[in-house]
Chains A and B, each alone.
Chain A
């Protein structure tokens, strides 16, 4: 099994209060919205560690403690965050925004998999993002690559390249013969296809 450790800036954020987490994430996320890709990466790395802890805790309370399940919901949540960046209200807390999306995806996941959501506490609030986060990622069961089956070959090759650490978009775009802008549009379509694939999965329980 392949495990990925968190990068150093993420480690530091493990024992922050919600207020500290919010202050730090807000600055980073506002920079990301303005187009700073490095800030966006840092935001996603940080928030995914917090969300993983939150989702594991909530799934455990709902009687499910398989790590791959939390990882699946986390990936779904991250895709939703990404595709809903434009719904963030710049005057509101970014942790509350991320938490509300994660909660929506979690409830949706539990409902679709045919279990009651009754065990899920109604009062779970964003502060739980500041709870202890067991950072290490685990293997996801879902194969997101399958979601891209309907996309053009070139897009799949492009995504295969950019997912590797250290390959820039410009390099990957050049390698498959696209401009950087076209590559970003293609990646966007790929992510939309993944999100669609995930929300269709298991529409019927079982």
Chain B
């Protein structure tokens, strides 16, 4: 088939195109994935025993805000990375902002505490649980976003994967904040950051292999 014939066929099959679909689908997929992740956390782990009294305390709100702000920023960049010609990679450092705030808060906390308490502040009670749970629950949004990425046109699979990983980690942190009983800033800054990096790395490594188009 010659190129002008191909163009004739494409013109014949042409219909009006909705360019807003990707944006709406990203929002809906993120909400659905968040709902599913929350449901899983509540069923498998349950809310923290003191949730009724603790939900409005600053550590719990800080965890939710950390997750929500990372997820929100990363989802915008993820959606844009599915549209060729945009270069959302330049804005990727923005995602580091909430993490940097939490790290600053953690350093301030450590500076005010006696050195003998540092270990308790950093390791808390359940650092292993956090380190396993956040990446594990992040797989739910990660799979959903991977399915969505295949409907777009990612020209940089690594960037799309990193954005999807960041967004998934953010959503998982948001969901896990309902359960996580450790409330110190150094705990958040250490284990949540490691979990975020792990999920982001997974996305950046796996997506380029799955997203050939």
A-side residues, CB < 8 A to B, are 2, 4, 32-35, 37, 40-41, 44-45, 48, 71, 74-75, 78-80, 82, 84-90, 92-93, 96-101, 103-104, 108, 126, 137, 139-140, 143-145, 159, 162-165, 168-169, 172, 183-184, 187-188, 190-191, 199
Contact = CB atoms under 8 A, between A and B. Distances in A.
Contacts of B155: 100-101, 103-104
Q: Tell me the interface secondary structure of chain B in the complex.
A: loop
Contact of B2 (A79, A104, A140): A140
B10 interface: yes
Nearest to B13: A187
A21 to B, nearest CB: 14
Contacts of A191: 9-10, 13
B9 A48 contact: no
B50 interface: no
11 contacts: A4-B3, A78-B3, A78-B6, A86-B19, A86-B22, A89-B86, A96-B85, A100-B84, A100-B155, A162-B12, A184-B14
Given A85-B17, A89-B80, A101-B155, 8 more contacts: A32-B14, A41-B11, A78-B3, A78-B7, A84-B84, A144-B1, A165-B8, A191-B10
Contact of B212 (A44, A82, A93, A199): A199
B10 A80 contact: no
Contacts of A165: 4, 8
A139 B2 CA distance: 7
Given A86-B22, A137-B4, A188 B84 contact: no
A40 B11 contact: yes
Interface residues of B, number: 32
Given A104-B155, A140-B3, A40 B83 contact: no
A143 to B, nearest CB: 7
A44 B12 CA distance: 12
A88 B9 contact: no
A74 B3 contact: yes
B72 interface: no
Contacts of A74: 3
Contact of A34 (B3, B16, B80): B16
A92 B85 contact: yes
A164 B8 contact: yes
Contacts of A99: 85
B100 to A, nearest CB: 29
Nearest to B12: A162
A112 to B, nearest CB: 10
- 6 closest A-B pairs by CB: A187-B13, A100-B84, A35-B16, A96-B85, A97-B85, A162-B12
Nearest to B7: A44
Given A104-B155, A169-B12, A184-B15, A137 B2 contact: yes
A33 B16 contact: yes
A144 B16 CA distance: 25
B18 interface: yes
Contact of B8 (A34, A126, A162, A199): A162
B152 interface: yes
Interface string B1-41: 11111111111111111110110000000000000000000
B84 A78 contact: no
A103 B21 CA distance: 24
B153 interface: yes
Nearest to B3: A137
Q: Of A100, A140, A190, which is in contact with the most chain B CB atoms at under 10 Å from its CB?
A: A100
Contacts of B159: none
Contact of B83 (A44, A92, A143, A159): A92
A88 B83 contact: yes
B10 A82 contact: yes
A164 B9 CA distance: 9
Interface in B143-176: 152-153, 155
A44 B5 contact: no
